[in-house]
Amino acid sequence: MSLTAAMLLGMASSAPPTMANVDINIDIGTLLGIGGRVNCTQGRRIVERKGFSSVRPRDCAGEIYVYTGRKRGYTYWVEVRRRDGRVIATERNRIRRDR
């Protein structure tokens, strides 16, 4: 018997593979697993998780929340959409302030 035939016979007699129980959740359309509308505090946390420090809310009265935060020595204005918590704009101030 050839080696190939022996391998095929060995595979045929082995037990069938078992199915793994897999649960995948990718949260389509949300940011950081929040889903739906966010409040001002949740928006601040989203900005912090994007790498900004010293985050302060500047305007949380409309459909777009505005924050300031620091990153790499610069101050940024960051806009977060209230509807889904997505960061939609960042603008860096031109003056760098060393820490």
Establish if 16 belongs to a structural domain: no
Establish if 96 belongs to a structural domain: yes
Establish if 42 belongs to a structural domain: yes
Task: Report the number of distinct structural domains present in the chain.
Answer: 1
pLDDT of 62 > 70? The answer is yes
Give the residue numbers spanning the domain of 85.
Answer: 37-99
Establish if 60 belongs to a structural domain: yes
What pLDDT was estimated at residue 36?
81
pLDDT tens per residue across span 1-50: 565 665 556 555 555 666 666 655 444 444 454 568 999 999 999 999 99
Q: What is the CATH number of the domain that holds 47?
A: 3.10.450
What pLDDT was estimated at residue 34?
52
What pLDDT was estimated at residue 13?
55
* CB of 96 closer than 8 Å to CB of 73: yes
Distance, CA of 81 to CA of 7 (rounded, Å): 59
CA neighbours closer than 13 Å in the CB half-sphere of residue 92: 10
Write down the pTM of the prediction.
Answer: 0.61
